[in-house]
Amino acid sequence: MYWNSILSWPAGEVHGGEDLSLVERCQAGDETAFAALYHHYAAYIYRLTFSFLQHREDAEEVLQDTFEYAFRRIDRYDAQKASFKTWLYQIAVSRCRNKRRRKWLPTFPLSGLGEGEARDELTPLPEELLALNNRQKQIWQALNSLSPKLREAAVLRYYEGLTYPEIGQVLDIPPKTAESRTRLAHNALKEILIKQSSEGD
Amino acid sequence: MLAQQHPSGQLSDYVLDLLAPDERRRVDRHLERCAGCREAVQQERAIAHDVRSTLIKATRPQPARLAQLMPPVPAVRRRNRYGLFLRPALALSILLFLFVASLHLYSPGSNGMSNSATATTLAATATTTPTTTAEPHDDATDSANFVEVRALRSAQAIGTPVAAILMMAQN
Ligand SMILES: [Zn+2]
């Protein structure tokens, strides 16, 4: 099923092909095309927003916001300017930033996760996070301690596998800035992980 | 010859694909000969790999939940679909009405007698309308029916004065 094919974007999504014709059908007002478009992209956008915000309910809310906006503004999508994926990503990124701003997002309460004790009983972890092994919990925590800007770059590079010009387009920054943010994120993660493993010993 | 000059400061850029082609080739040549730097490169790569596998596992969506989260399709779009048909249909019905009304105005038999005859025909037509409105309710078909009924009524409205004159002539 489409939900499970997460590892890479469908081939040929950039210009033309199935996606573009779906978008065109939406632009022509075909209701079934909106549902098809949602089913095609929702899992990708959810994973992106969850990775950025590291909070499931917020990720769900931003997912809805993103599609609500995309549906309403589908007429404004221009295939000449960006791939549909990039357009959706741009919407999701700005909505994540708004969400963070509105919430003054406190970092997700994961302190003590590595030790697996002294957790706040009132904020149970979603089951997805309980399924992580120790190394993965460390990674999740390390990502959480990055600034949002660096986390965005790290997610888009490592997880989405985007090129630097693509990262720049999604984040609305020059490719060189995308490169330097990715480098900073990488070095910060390396440092945090080294520190964590030395503390664990 | 330069085996001891480890490009340690360049290894993260190497992994991130941020080196210029000539620098990259130099690091490649070094890595062929230096196990220590190969090991360091593996550790750099492990970060990217682990971030990826962590996020894949941590952000896995539930298909049923995602389906619940789909926002409604904007209402404007639904209207637009019929709008393409409705507008010409409305314009056509107005045109027909005006055309028929003008005919009726200048027809020779327009007097008190024919007016009452028109009223009876309209009443008769009204009894036929339920058959058309019994069809599935849809804006577009309603409007099409509206045009049909209007045209039918108008045709009868022109026809009745003629029939009335014929009846008077027979008497
Ligand atoms: Zn070396």
List residues in chain B touching A: CB distance below 8 A.
12-13, 15-16, 18, 44, 47-48, 50-61, 63, 65-67, 69-71, 73-74, 77-78, 80-81
Contact at CB, B71 and A68, closer than 8 angstroms: yes
Could you tell me the domains of chain A? 16-123 (1.10.1740.10), 132-201 (1.10.10.10)
Would you state the structure tokens that stand for residue A172, as one six-digit string?
């609305």
User: Could you read off the pLDDT of B64-95 as tens digits, one per residue?
Assistant: 999 999 999 887 544 444 545 555 555 566 56
> Half-sphere exposure (CA, 13 Å, Cβ side) for A44?
24
Contact at CB, B54 and A7, closer than 8 angstroms: no
- DSSP string over A36-93: HHHHHHHHHHHHHHHHHH--HHHHHHHHHHHHHHHHHTGGG--TTTS-HHHHHHHHHH
Q: What is the pLDDT along chain A (201 residues), one digit of tens a residue?
A: 343 333 344 443 434 456 778 898 998 888 899 999 999 999 999 999 999 999 999 999 999 999 999 999 999 999 899 999 999 999 999 999 999 888 764 555 554 454 444 444 445 577 778 889 999 999 999 999 999 999 999 999 999 999 999 999 999 999 999 999 999 999 999 999 988 888 876
User: CB of A187 within 8 A of CB of B44?
Assistant: no
